[in-house]
A = this chain, B = another copy of it.
Amino acid sequence: MPRDGSPTRERLLDAGLKLAHAGALSSLRVDEVVNAAGVAKGTFYVHFATREDFLVALHSRFHDQLARRIEQSAGTLPHGVQRLLRGSLAYLDGCCEQHAIKAMLLGARAEPAIQQAVSAQNARFAALAAAEFAAMKWPGPEQAARLWVGMVAEAAIAEAEAGRRLVPLRQALRHFLE
């Protein structure tokens, strides 16, 4: 199996991202992916042991990119409500550009194959948020963080459905922190 950075492997993942839509990772077919990537079906199995492996890789890559974006946006801000909002909006901006977000948030959670990866991903974002809630002196910062992540995800799905930023929704989001 070729190394991770292989161009063909990337092309397959790119094609998967392009095809992931409408909350349905489960309906992502190997045939579709190889057609969109313009490679033979066998090539798929040169790079991924199974379809499940492919889905996990797709999911990871997607969220790794988002996580980088969040970290960059927060920069050197001190922990607290401003940093939480900055990171959350960066997340929403990142999602807006990705029509695959619905598949990644909903489809992924429903796909038994990658539930472990999804749990890890949720824990990762929740941990980021928990630091902010702790700095804000909220009681039960871990619980608040988990709920906050759920709420931001709901906002991301709404924006993905609308296909654009929803400013009133973002204001409502902020209002829950006041």
Give the chain B neighbours of A25 by CB distance below 8 A.
110
Q: Is the CB of A154 within 8 A of B146?
A: yes
* A140 engages B22 (CB within 8 Å): no
Given A109-B23, A109-B110, A176:B147 Cβ within 8 A: yes
Q: Taking A109-B110, A175-B138 as contacts, is the C-beta distance between A150 and B143 under 8 angstroms?
A: no
- Which residue on B lies nearest to A171, using beta carbons? B140
Partner of A106, one of B110, B138, B147: B110
Q: Is the interface of A mostly helix, strand, loop or mixed?
A: helix
Tell me the complex Cα distance, A149–B109, Å: 18
A40 proximal to B (CB < 8 A): no
In the complex the two chains form, is B112's CB within 8 Å of A144's CB? Answer: no
Q: Interface residues, chain A, CB within 8 Å of chain B?
A: 22-27, 106-107, 109-112, 115, 138-140, 143-144, 146-151, 153-155, 158, 166, 168-169, 171-173, 175-176
Which chain B residues lie closer than 8 Å to A27 at the CB level? 112
Contacts of A140 in B (CB 8 A): 168-169, 171-172, 175
Set B24, B171, B173: member contacting A112, Cβ < 8 A: B24
A112 and B151 in contact, given A143-B172, A168-B140, A169-B146 (Cβ under 8 angstroms): no
Once the chains bind, are B146 and A23 in contact (CB under 8 Å)? no
Chain B: which residue is nearest A112 at the CB level? Answer: B24
Query: A150 to B26, alpha carbons, bound, how many Å?
Result: 22
Contact across chains for B139 and A147 when beta carbons are under 8 A apart: no
